[in-house]
């Protein structure tokens, strides 16, 4: 797994004004060490159906892994906020969809905005275990560790992310998740959550916490039985796309 040789433009910001449903905007937020490439097929599904779509590249991502050790966590929701503000100028409804850490970022943004709805795929809200407690010290001693990316069941598929886990970035990620979890009750918008039964990156506790602590007017959870963590690129992607479309249609 690496960012080299990715399809042209897939590691960059992507934005497209829709057709028939141009007044409904959807922002697609990728995961930690991942890239916009993991969200492009999902965005293309909606673009083909006439929706306005935005796939931002989060700061520190899709360049070189050392860059992810140089950002502060506030930069990630701030980048999504830019897209929310832009879409609200031309769209009557704005949705945010997030994968993994992008799910945590989506929840952070939902705590501070009125959104039409959100969709979360294997979202992240906490880092369990004792290792995270010494993460700041570890980050000083070891800038990078083994990657957690490309957990995909479908053969020959990559999310075009980093092949190193930047440790200072993990410290910032932990801070964002703690702040976001403390305010989950502020998430009021309709929420659709997809969870892979076989996820080798995040424990099921992440999805359980989110569904129990948000205060959404409508919370729905769908299990994915034929995908690993990066389910947006895996065998269950068509199920994700179809159900998220129904979610958007219901709450637009």
Give the catalytic positions in this structure: 100, 199, 229
- Within its chain, how far is the Cα of 134 from the centroid? 25
Q: Is 48 exposed, middle or buried (CB count within 10 Å of its CB: 0-12, 13-18, 19+)?
A: exposed
Is 218 within 8 Å of 247 (Cβ atoms)?
A: no
Distance CA 230, CA 163 (A): 15
SS3 164: strand
Question: How many other C-beta atoms lie within 10 A of the C-beta of residue 232?
Answer: 31
Distance CA 240, CA 115 (A): 20
Distances (CA, A) of 159 to 19, 32, 93, 135, 205: 28, 11, 29, 25, 24
């Amino acid at each position: 797994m690496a960012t080299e040789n990715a399809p042209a433009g897939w590691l960059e910001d992507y934005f497209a004004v829709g057709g028939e449903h141009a007044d409904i905007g959807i922002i697609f937020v990728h995961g930690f060490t991942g890239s916009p490439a993991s969200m492009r097929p999902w965005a293309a599904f909606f673009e083909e159906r006439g929706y306005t779509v935005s796939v931002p590249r989060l700061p520190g991502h899709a360049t070189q892994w050392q860059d992810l050790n140089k950002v502060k966590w506030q930069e990630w929701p701030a980048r999504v906020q830019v897209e929310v503000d832009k879409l609200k100028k031309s769209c009557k409804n704005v949705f945010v969809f997030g994968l993994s850490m992008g799910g945590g970022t989506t929840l952070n943004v939902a705590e501070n905005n009125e959104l039409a709805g959100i969709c979360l795929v294997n979202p992240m809200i906490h880092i369990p275990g004792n290792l995270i407690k010494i993460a700041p010290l570890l980050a000083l001693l070891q800038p990078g560790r083994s990657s957690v990316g490309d957990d995909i069941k479908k053969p020959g598929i990559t999310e075009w992310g980093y092949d190193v886990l930047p440790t200072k970035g993990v410290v910032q990620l932990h801070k964002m998740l703690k702040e976001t979890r403390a305010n989950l009750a502020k998430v009021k918008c309709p929420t659709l959550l997809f969870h892979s039964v076989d996820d080798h990156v995040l424990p099921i506790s992440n999805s359980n916490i989110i569904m129990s602590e948000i205060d959404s007017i409508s919370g729905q959870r769908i299990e994915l039985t034929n995908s690993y963590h990066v389910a947006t690129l895996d065998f269950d992607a068509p199920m994700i796309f179809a159900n998220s479309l129904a979610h958007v249609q219901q709450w637009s």
